[in-house]
Amino acid sequence: MSTTILVIGLMVFFAHFLSLQFRRTNIPDVLVLMLAGIVLGPLLGIVTPEDFGKIGSLIATIALVVILFESGTSLNLDVLGKSLATTGVLSIVCFALTTAIVTAIGFSALELELLPAILLGVTLGGTSSAVVIPMVNALRLSEKPSTVLVLESALTDVLCIVGVFALLQIHTQGGVEAGKLIGGVLSALIFAAVIGVIGGIGWLLVLGKVRDFPNTISSTLAYVFIVYGATEGLGFSGAIAALALGITLTNFQKFGMDRIPSLDRNIVPLNEVDLIFYREAVFLLKTYFFVYLGISIHFGAINLALIAVAMVLLIYAMRMVLTRFVFRDTGYSLRDTAITSMLAPKGLAAAVLAALPLQFGVAGGEVIRDTTYMVVLVSIALSALLVMIYPSTLAQRFYSRVMGKPLPADTRGS
């Protein structure tokens, strides 16, 4: 026990060191943390996912909720409105094309039947909020691309979850109604957002009274968990509700609440201490989440690893072309466009969903699980590598040609 406590303490200081190195060297801390988990788990066998029991998956979910909520508090509603169209195109088209690429490879190279191949494609169709958001914050992108990437990761998580459960329903019951499927996706998004906004407005009105009690700095996070749990219990997306709640708490003026005299007197906004606390919570949870993710990786046969690499390379090539089309507006710089094309890592949602086909008795369920874990690892590693090499002149010239964007002034003469 004492050794475990010692390792937990050292891990926090290690994560602080990695964050500092990210700013200096562009080596993403999330990759190093995950590699540390791989060394501790699959390679050395010091720790296994079973050692965590239910706590491991619980911490992973809590990390996702807090990351989305904290990200919501930093989003500007005006920028959000301007980014919705871009987000919609990038999210839906990238999700559809990624699903198609993975399905085709799963069907042909992995020799999965059509339904399991589509299950694999949908599982890997989205991008990971838990990976994308910390990297976006560390890279300090402009507001619009940051907002697009945050929203894309949240929206595609919903598409993955709803899509996988619909396909599992087809497997167990023999079919699913298209209207109900579309309705399920829309309700999961719209009703969750409404719950998050209403929850945020309600919390702003009672926060002043809550602060009269001692030791309440963590009460807002507890409230976020309540909203998340209630939203999931109603069958909607708790992740979207947490994001909408965070947006509401820092953008309440846009809803006109401060212009209503009866409400204005009762509104107590978040202060700087609150926001610093949320950032610290994200830092701690992110640290343990990525180590746990590394511990949870399953290494399959060598052919699965090669196929996973091929999948990831094709997905990133497709995303590069798609990003050029979506970000053709001159308002997006070369750096914003290039980094958006790099950030298509898979993570928590894919890792959780990957285990379901095996549980439901889907043929090839073990292949789906092991391939997904490999794609998660390879995609995060590739995103990290691309981000790391981007500052080089050669990389910027390459992306300038591919994206059709001019080089920065300080690079043109190099």
Look up residue 221 and give its DSSP letter. Answer: H
Does 13 map to a domain?
no
Does 4 map to a domain?
no
Cβ neighbours of residue 276 closer than 8 Å, sequence gap 6 or more: none
Does 233 map to a domain?
yes
The vertex-387 CA angle with 381 and 392, nearest 5°, equals 130
CA 302 from centre of chain: 27
Q: With a threshold of 0.75, does the pTM exceed it?
A: yes
Q: Give the pLDDT confidence of 334-386 residue by residue, as tens digits.
A: 999 999 999 999 987 888 888 889 888 999 999 998 899 899 989 999 998 99
Nearest to 156 by CA among 199, 115, 98: 98
Residue 70 domain boundaries: 21-47+54-405
Does 155 map to a domain?
yes
Reply yes or no on whether the pLDDT at 414 is more than 70.
Answer: no
Does 14 map to a domain?
no
Reply yes or no on whether the pLDDT at 322 is more than 90.
Answer: yes
How far apart are the C-alpha atoms of 273 and 279, rounded to whole Å? 10
Task: Provide the angle, in degrees to the nearest 10, between the axes of the packed helices 29-38 and 2-25.
Answer: 150
Does 411 map to a domain?
no
Nearest to 181 by CA among 101, 122, 124, 227: 122
Q: Give the pLDDT confidence of 108-130 residue by residue, as tens digits.
A: 999 999 999 999 999 999 998 88
Number of domain units in the chain: 1
Nearest to 93 by CA among 156, 182, 167: 156
Look up residue 407 and give its DSSP letter. Answer: P
- pLDDT at res. 20: 80
Secondary structure of residue 347 in the 3-state scheme? coil
Q: For residue 191, with 0-12 CB atoms within 10 Å meaning exposed, 13-18 middle and 19 or more buried, which class applies?
A: middle
CATH number (domain holding residue 246): 1.20.1530.20
Does 168 map to a domain?
yes
Q: How confident is the model at residue 176 (pLDDT cuts 50, 70, 90)?
A: low
Q: Which ranges constitute the DSSP H helices of 299-346?
A: 302-326, 334-342
Q: How confident is the model at residue 2 (pLDDT cuts 50, 70, 90)?
A: low
Does 174 map to a domain?
yes
Which two tokens mark 49?
């996912």
* Amino acid letter for position 216: T
